[in-house]
Amino acid sequence: MAGHSGCGKTTTLQMVAGLVQPTTGNIVLDGSEITKLRPNRRGLGIVFQSYALFPHMTVSQNVGFGLEMRRIPAAERAKRVAEALALVHLEAFGGRYPRELSGGQRQRVALARAIVIQPPVMLLDEPMGALDAKLREEMQIELRALQQRVGITTIMVTHDQAEAMTLADRVVLMNGGRIEQVGKPYEMYEQPNGRFSSTFLGRANVFSGSFNEGTFLVGDVALPTAASTLNGKADYILRPEKIRFVDQNAILKGRIAARVFLGNHWLFQVETPLGTMQVARANTAPPSVGEGDEVGLCWDLVNARVVATEGQA
């Protein structure tokens, strides 16, 4: 689940976890209703944003706590704790206390603690929130691998669009307490269903305009579209990397206001009659244009997505 802070994604997660009671609606898990069940009866594995490790227990005791509550005999408990710790590569840390671990290690302990009880569903609340950027990237890949290995359905909450795209099979995009769009990351990126989806996942140029006798008008500038069946108001969504610089047959002309180097690509701010547009070009050759240059912009019409504005469809 992805969305800006305050959009209700953590609340949704907490409702699934049983920490918050929904005012209306049901929660169904594997066909059985769990809406009124107390959290300690749901048996879900939860990883909290702060990890919520028990500071007064060792790593092993932390991981074993859930098994202890299930009255698993000590011998089997020790075995399963060892397995869970091996899964997150912390075999050697069982005797340590949480404060003797690094942020990444704590996160893995929290994961092991949730996995060890073999929950039907794992809930992760911003699990990367407390990690620095470099570590976050490593942990994302590791988390994905881990999740594939143990095969537990996982619901993860994040406000980071990159994280949502990296980790998820299905992204639920939320905004203002509502679901904006649900889909596979690639589909959602390529076919955003509106301004919010397109700008939350990656960058996008979005122009609001309306159809007038088959042509799409933004102000008094006409933009070519592949779809001309629509009527009324619509948003014209164009990803920055789909735009090329051309000398002839330009769809739009503009002047480059700024050029930023981002390593694997260049990002241009181009001033056009429609306002400032973002253009991204892969860093495959030295840039052919610089700040202040007049350029022509062109794109394939299939890459420009036109979405009817809400209420007008």
- Taking CB under 8 A as the binding criterion, the range among 24-32, 51-59, 248-256, 301-309 that sits at the site for another protein is 51-59
157 binds another protein (CB under 8 A): no
User: To the nearest whole angstrom, how small is the minimum distance from the Cβ of residue 259 to another protein?
Assistant: 45
- Taking CB under 8 A as the binding criterion, the range among 40-48, 79-87, 129-137, 208-216 that sits at the site for another protein is 40-48
- Give the nearer residue to another protein in terms of CB position, either 115 or 234: 115
**Cα distances (angstroms) measured from residue 22 to each of 11, 53, 130, 201, 262:** 9, 27, 28, 28, 44
223-229 CB contacts, 8 Å cutoff, 24+ apart: 223/251, 223/274, 223/304, 224/251, 224/301, 225/301, 225/304, 225/306, 226/301, 226/302, 226/304, 226/306, 227/306
Number of residues that bind another protein (CB under 8 A): 29
211 binds another protein (CB under 8 A): no
Residues 6+ apart with CB under 8 A from 29: 42, 120, 121
- Give the nearer residue to another protein in terms of CB position, either 1 or 72: 72
49 binds another protein (CB under 8 A): yes
278 binds another protein (CB under 8 A): no
Instruction: Find the helix or strand (DSSP H, E) in which 279 lies.
Output: strand 275-282
Query: Which position among 1, 46, 88, 157 is part of the footprint of another protein (CB under 8 A)?
Result: 46
106 binds another protein (CB under 8 A): no
**What backbone phi and psi angles, to 5 degrees, belong to 241?**
-80, -5
65 binds another protein (CB under 8 A): yes
User: To the nearest whole angstrom, how small is the minimum distance from the Cβ of residue 101 to another protein?
Assistant: 13
Instruction: Point out which residues pair with 210 in neighbouring strands.
Output: 217, 233
- Taking CB under 8 A as the binding criterion, the range among 39-47, 135-143, 227-235, 280-288 that sits at the site for another protein is 39-47
User: To the nearest whole angstrom, how small is the minimum distance from the Cβ of residue 38 to another protein?
Assistant: 8
The token pair at 187 is 């589909």
Q: Alpha-carbon distance 163 to 92, whole Å?
A: 29
Query: Which position among 50, 102, 215, 276 is part of the footprint of another protein (CB under 8 A)?
Result: 50
**Helix ranges, the chain (H):** 9-17, 39-42, 59-69, 74-87, 103-115, 133-150, 161-167, 185-190, 195-200
**Parallel, antiparallel or unpaired: strands 265-272 and 275-282:** antiparallel
The token pair at 100 is 């003797």
Query: Which position among 44, 88, 188, 277 is part of the footprint of another protein (CB under 8 A)?
Result: 44
Cβ atoms of 304 and 226 closer than 8 Å: yes
> What x/- string results for residues 116 through 155 when contact with another protein is judged by CB under 8 A?
-x--------------------------------------
User: To the nearest whole angstrom, how small is the minimum distance from the Cβ of residue 39 to another protein?
Assistant: 5
Query: Which position among 77, 113, 159, 242 is part of the footprint of another protein (CB under 8 A)?
Result: 113
Q: Calculate the dihedral angle through the C-alpha atoms of 189, 155, 84, 166, rounding to the nearest 10 degrees.
A: 10
Q: Alpha-carbon distance 160 to 231, whole Å?
A: 34
User: To the nearest whole angstrom, how small is the minimum distance from the Cβ of residue 73 to another protein?
Assistant: 16
- Give the nearer residue to another protein in terms of CB position, either 123 or 280: 123
Q: Cα–chain-centroid distance for residue 291?
A: 33
DSSP 150: H
> What x/- string results for residues 71 through 100 when contact with another protein is judged by CB under 8 A?
--------------------------x-x-
Write out the residues near another protein by the rule CB under 8 A.
Answer: 17-19, 38-46, 48-50, 52-57, 65-66, 69-70, 97, 99, 113, 117
